[in-house]
Amino acid sequence: MLVLFLCTGNSCRSQMAEGFGKLYAPDGWQVASAGSRPVGYVHPKAIAVMAEKGVDIAGNSSKHLNDFPKPDVVVTLCGSAAEECPLYPGALMTEHWGLPDPAHAEGDEAAVLNAFRSVRDEVERRVKDLFARL
């Protein structure tokens, strides 16, 4: 079974979900992330806040949703109407988690890091819940 986490740029939210998914997925499950318009990198602050939880996503790459032909479970993580959240028909199960993109957080360094941590913690909670239900 393949669980695919999707957002637009595949640099923050879906990368965090992939990291936690690989941590919490049952044996034999595959976990990946992708975007409808991948930006080509994983956001350094996403890498930093995941490292705080002991999850290394530094080696991840930004991927396009077309790289994954047939996922079983698709979770979209787009948070605002301005984002074009990708559609992925044909999956056995789909879910949408409307989470803000921390890459657009404003304020000083501490405020931006807190935005990343807040999204990270919510992603972790939802990933744990997802795998408990699957």
Asked about 78 being catalytic, the answer comes back as yes
Q: Which of 42, 78, 99, 127 is catalytic?
A: 78
What contacts 121, CB < 8 A, 6 or more positions away?
none
Q: Which of 25, 85, 93, 113 is catalytic?
A: 85
Query: Where in the chain does DSSP place strands (E)?
Result: 2-7, 30-35, 73-76, 93-96
Q: Which of 3, 4, 6, 7 is catalytic?
A: 7
CB 133 within 8 A of CB 45: no
Catalytically annotated residues: 7, 78, 85
